[in-house]
Structure 1
Amino acid sequence: MDKTLRISEIFYSLQGEANTVGLPTVFVRLTGCPLRCVYCDTAYAFTGGEKKTLAEILAQVRQYDTRYVTVTGGEPLAQPRCNDLMTLLLEEDYSVSLETSGALDVSDIDPRVVKVMDLKTPASGELDRNRYDNIDYLTEQDQVKFVIANETDYQWSKTILEEHRLAAKCQVLFSPVMGQMQPAQLADQILADQLPVRFQIQLHKYLWNDAQGK
């Protein structure tokens, strides 16, 4: 029997975050997540979805003329076959990125996959779920994202940035929580503190005012 994954949705849009922002991308959103972040904008992916074989997923991805695929969730690594899917995508010469919470082990992920790992800040409500040993498996192509809701989050993120020397290991992204921190405030603080990070906003929310970017 072919391997299956439970899929919430597969859609084509502009990448709204990370270092490929603005590029046409196919998003494969897996169902399920063990975390419950306060500001989560994809809670609809916690349950439901449809079981699809890996062959069916690949066939749907091939419908779109792009080399960029993002595997996201929920928390995609909560489904063990996620790694099998990413390997197959890589074998078809796609540029594959993985959006993960950082709460699950990333050590077995194919090194060709670009890991975009979200370290949970205090305001997320899931601070204790961070697996800091995952940092050891990040490379210069990977990215660590801090989603910042307030001053406490910002100061915590600065501390983690420095303690783990993140900017020397990978790319670092600071992103404001829409509706909780003004983007200009975060941008000003980054500049004032001369942090070696990339400021980002969720492009899709500004274009379409939604979580998906479609």
Structure 2
Amino acid sequence: MSSRRTLVTGCYGQLGRAVRALAEARGVAGDFDFCDIDTFDMGDAAAYDGVDWDAYGTVINCGAFTAVDAAETPEGRVSCWRANATGPSLLARTCAAHDATLVHVSSDYVFDGTRELHDEEEPLSPISVYGQSKAAGDLAVMGCPRHYILRSSWVIGDGRNFVRTMWGLSDRVASGELARVTVVDDQEGRLTFTDQMAAAIFHLLDADAPYGLYDMTGSGRSRWRASS
């Protein structure tokens, strides 16, 4: 990694927690700074004036608006675009100006889901507001000369996610609070475990891998919710 410090945005989220845990496990957390929207709103251009960007050689953006259904509402649409498009655009411009590397985590929602397997060459084809905002963020980050974009799907880690939700619902059924749980069972995708994504980020940085776009998910398939 860079000899300068590393800034991690979205540190309270599932991936942000995994990145912090890995930095601590490797004994390098002292070279990291962690922030979330309560201390740094990356979608607010004015917030950038309060950061010493020359101190950072790497920015790992783990922040995002991930409430896919809420993004379709009038209020959610604004918040979604602010976090997923405006924020990455401002980060990309700032990192470019300060010769810093920007690591940005994206999503398979930037595709329409018509292909069985996605690869790095597939053209963008988002359907939902969430997918459109993530695609816009990807394009903005590509404008930063030193960038890594890692695309994920069905993110699972320490925090709110589909698996944890289903686990909680099953407990409520077992206790008699709910009669049954109804969930779609005709959709497939690949899980992305946050500890593996964090390890992939560190690997790219440590190895000085070529800048660009990388798909990073687990292997195999899982059923339940839609991935696109």
TM-score range, shorter chain: 0.3 to 0.5
Whose helix proportion is higher, 1 or 2?
2
| Structure 1 length-normalised TM | 0.37
User: Which is greater in Rg?
Assistant: 2
**Greater strand proportion:** 1
Higher RCO structure, 1 or 2 (CA under 8 Å, sep 6+): 2
